[in-house]
A and B are shown apart, each in its own frame.
Chain A
Amino acid sequence: MTEVATPTAARPRRAASLGLLVFALVVTIAGFAQVGLARDGSLPTNMFGYALAIVALAGVSYFVMQKWTPYADPLLLPLAVLLNGLGLMMIYRIDQTTTTDFPEEKARFEAANPGQEYVPFGVGADIMGQLMWTVLSIGLFIAALILVKEVKAFQRYHYTLGAVGLVLLMLPMVPVIGTELNGARIWIKLGPFSIQPAEFCKMAFVVFFAAYLVKKRAALSLVSRKIWLLELPRSRDLYPILGFWILTLMVLAVENDFGTALLFFGLFVSMIYIATGKASWVFIGLSLFIGGVLIIYIGAQLIGIDHINQRVEIWLSPENYFGGGCKLPDGTVDNMMDAKPTWDECMAAGGSYAESDQLMAGLYAMGEGGVLGTGLGQGQPYRTPLAFSDEIFTSLAEELGLTGIMALLMLYVLLVERGFKVAIATKDEFAKLFAGGVSFVFALQIFVITGGVTKLIPFTGLTTPFLSQGGSSLLANWVLIALLIRLSHEARKPAPVAIQDEGMTQIVNVGNLR
């Protein structure tokens, strides 16, 4: 390897970071303003409060970052602030609709469903709650920046963290606390709080895998047999991946969430590959995953566990399930749109009931947006169920159009790219694996949730990082950003002064001479 990844310009990028941060804040606050102008023709009255809160949070973060990690990558904080701000803006926009009445919708609903209570659009969107979570998350971010001097410190607790991750992953399967949302059990409910453990689980696993692979990468790189281009590892080295494979398939079978299974297995395989550089691991991983998924789905088909295949069917032909579809024991799907009450009738017929309304409504929102979008505050993203969380991507796609979400996806591209850059710049093996794993799982999560709402893969209930309404996701992602910032600071900061004093000849950068 001829190039050296350590950045040569090891100087703080204060101005760049500040400029980008100001840009992120301007975009966010202008977004708030536009929602008000488009909806009511005036600036939202509470906008200044929100703006002040966001500016203050960003300002403090910037200050802390400059003080404790001055050499950090200048892009990470502005990217996180912009993404979080765009999420707040969209949640605010949908929250606003809740307060507006839809008298006609209400009348139509009540005429069609006598005795049932009308649920207005946008119900559940909560800008105040999300602002509070943002404050907590950025607080945690600041705390992490100040307190975590060495990301390597986590390496010591990797078994503990691995166990915590395992428990978190299994928690939603536990009957009482695990709750089912949209057919998938990836949430747990503790009193008034619902938590998506996958968010914290993802961090715990990254730490565990990184530490484990630092120890085992030599062994896992050994080749026992070579079949054509494939360098097979020793069979006993296969046990960990097989163990994790079984765990992932349990997630798929019990939690019924293809996305979560893909997320964790993809994370594991990518990290093994980073550690060993052996393509055979990728091959083994992919074969296991595809084989396992087929076993589960075909097995479910044979045994007759309908609800597992139903998620795939909804993905393939959502029309049948629009307004509620009932898969009858003979395998046919009866659309129950006009039957009331649908659930009871389906159960009485011995069928399995599911709806595709959220997926379809999200796609309709995207169609409505087209290339240029309807404009902020001028679309109807609130028509999609969970427009502020699961479907926030399609809500943005409706109002900002293809143009807007291409820019949004570019923000994610930048964030992932900066994350990998940190991984490459870092010297320590654990830190490298950690940063690489975190960056990849971030990209994979965006793929899984966004691919789900855009009907690229079966729908999943994971959150869209920084955008979705919800505390667990925001907390976890801000902590990850803090750790990446810390790592990038460590990687980019100049070598200790004492060495420099011995003269310039001592710090010749070999890579640059070549």
Chain B
Amino acid sequence: MNKSMNDQLKRVALVGLALIAVLMINANYIQAFQAKDLQTHALNNRQHQGIFLRNRGDIYSADKVKLAFSEPLSPGNKKSKYQRKYIKNAEVFVPITGYFTSNLSKAGVELSFDSILDGQDERQTATSWIKTLAGEKPLGGNVYTTVDAKAQQVAYQRLTSQALTRGAAVVIDAETGAVKVAVGFPSFDPNTVADVQKPDAVAAALDKLTKDRQQPMVNKAYAELFPPGSSFKTVVAAAFLSQNGNSMETPVPAPISTPTGGSKPITNSHDDGINCGLATAPLIRTFAHSCNTTYALLGAEDQYLGNEAVRSQSEKFGFYKRIPIEDDLSAPASEYPHNVQNRDEILRGSFGQGETKTTPLQMAMIGAAIANGGEMMKPYLVDKAVARVEGDDGKPEEAGTIYKADPSAMGKPISSDSAGQLQEMMRRVITDGTAGVLRGRNIAGKTGTTELTATRGGAWFVGFAPADKPKYGFAVFVEGSTDLYGASSAGPIAADIINALNQK
């Protein structure tokens, strides 16, 4: 037995101090490393506190049009609340800006760049850390999107003038993936759900919008799936070209009718006996004249191409998984039927009907990949974000750039050779095919028409422009138009948008 107990006391003292040391380590872990996660934790409603007391940053278009901004309710008062405001006719820009409702639901850039706009982002704090140390809270940063405001306006105006039920247009810079145009119809004015002084009115407006069967709050440009119709033939043709020994001149079957297991055989919209409606025709002619039977057979029969080859090509273009756009912002996964026993579903799916579903963004990406020599760029909406600090006169001033887009490829779904042949095929659609109406507009693409019923049907035009020197990939979709053919309804809209983009 140790007489004095001092050795034991020292050891127990060390244990006691070690317990406090563990607390210190844990506190460091929580407050230095976990702090950000805790602040933005889903259940933490502190992050919403005082959000309206902060000057939320602006959202701009690429041509410097202010799309969203915040205004103090009582200017001059330091403790004034801020009202989020959107540009007049903001419904045009909702797929870009998204919305920021007064009950704090967010979408689009408002959601994915929330921490920068709100001024709570670490990157922002880092650029103005001296001010932070001095106790000043950084202001919300500005976000510059890639969208072209002028072309966007033209796109929306032309879509709505078609008296349609739903529609969308997306234009992508083929080389970078920057989204230049993204409009959807029906849309809504985010100002109607942003009023911080009238929570009841906002709640009522939101309730009405969410109950609307057309779902105006779900943007049609990249958040909703539609059957792509014949524009999907581009994917089947790409799969065909990727097979050894195939070219756009390779003969493919183009019968008048293809029997199905169901009641109605598959037919073509017109059979002239030169392009469609004969035993075989070169691929390019069946593409230009959009022979349904050709693509149904290509997708269903392994002797020509087969379901697996089309599925694999679709996957390379980005089908079956969500397409990332920005943080917390992605497009739903497109589908092409596979692993199904039902041959009819594959037959119809292979020319874009039935179970094949996609977003206008996905189709525009396919057009852009063809325009870009086969390489597909990841789409993005935001070019850069700039921190703001309070200037000497108390007005916000822009400080350093805290975010810059870094264009990246999503892969190379088709070879450059295939891309060249598909370009040629899309040009043929205009010069000698279903879109003759677009001759002289320096644009190329594939038309598409979805299931024609008495009241509803959709028209697509997917391609690239300018036809001679591809720069943009696009997809235009209109539904419920009186004119249900892709060439005459969607095509001219695409041509007008590209025209607006090129007018600088």
Contacts and interface: CB of A to CB of B under 8 A. Distances in A.
Given A363-B38, A409-B24, A436 B9 contact: yes
Interface stretch (B14-22, B246-254, B287-295, B349-357): B14-22
A446 interface: yes
A423 to B, nearest CB: 5
Contacts of B34: 367
Contacts of A364: 38-39, 41, 44, 46
A469 interface: no
A120 interface: no
Interface stretch (B25-33, B138-146, B434-442, B453-461): B25-33
Nearest to A269: B12
A352 interface: no
Contact of A447 (B13, B19, B27): B19
A368 B6 contact: no
B261 interface: no
B5 interface: yes
Nearest to B103: A108
Interface in B122-153: 133, 135
B10 interface: yes
Contacts of A319: 43
B263 interface: no
A413 interface: yes
A424 interface: yes
Given A270-B12, A371-B32, A380-B46, A409 B27 contact: yes
A298 interface: no
A371 B9 contact: no
Nearest to B42: A319
A366 B31 contact: yes
A273 B5 CA distance: 9
Interface string B82-108: 000000000000000000000000000
Interface in B16-74: 16-17, 19-20, 22-24, 26-28, 30-32, 34-39, 41, 43-44, 46, 49
A380 B49 contact: yes
A439 B16 contact: yes
A432 B5 contact: yes
Contacts of B4: 1
Contacts of A360: 43-44
A295 to B, nearest CB: 25
A276 B37 contact: no
B7 interface: yes
A206 interface: no
Interface in A244-276: 270, 273-276
A397 B30 CA distance: 10
A416 interface: yes
A397 B31 contact: yes
Contact of B46 (A323, A368, A409, A446): A368
A456 B5 contact: no
A406 interface: yes
B340 interface: no
B9 A432 contact: yes
Given A367-B31, A420-B10, A420-B13, A436 B5 contact: yes
A363 B17 contact: no
Interface string A370-385: 1110010000100100
A451 B37 CA distance: 20
B8 interface: yes
Given A412-B20, A420-B12, A443-B20, A5 B6 contact: yes
Given A401-B31, A454-B30, A423 B9 contact: yes
Interface of A: 1, 5, 217-218, 221, 270, 273-277, 319, 322-323, 360, 363-364, 366-372, 375, 380, 383, 397, 401-402, 405-406, 409, 412-413, 416-417, 420, 423-424, 429, 432-433, 436, 439-440, 442-444, 446-447, 450-451, 454, 456
Shortest 9 CB-CB contacts between residues of A and residues of B: A367-B38, A443-B16, A420-B13, A402-B31, A447-B19, A221-B1, A277-B2, A370-B35, A274-B8
Interface of B: 1-2, 4-13, 15-17, 19-20, 22-24, 26-28, 30-32, 34-39, 41, 43-44, 46, 49, 133, 135
12 contacts: A277-B1, A360-B43, A366-B35, A367-B36, A370-B32, A406-B27, A416-B16, A424-B6, A447-B22, A447-B23, A451-B22, A454-B30
Given A1-B6, A424-B10, A436-B8, 15 more contacts: A218-B1, A274-B9, A276-B8, A375-B135, A380-B49, A397-B27, A397-B31, A402-B27, A409-B23, A420-B12, A420-B13, A432-B9, A446-B20, A446-B23, A447-B23
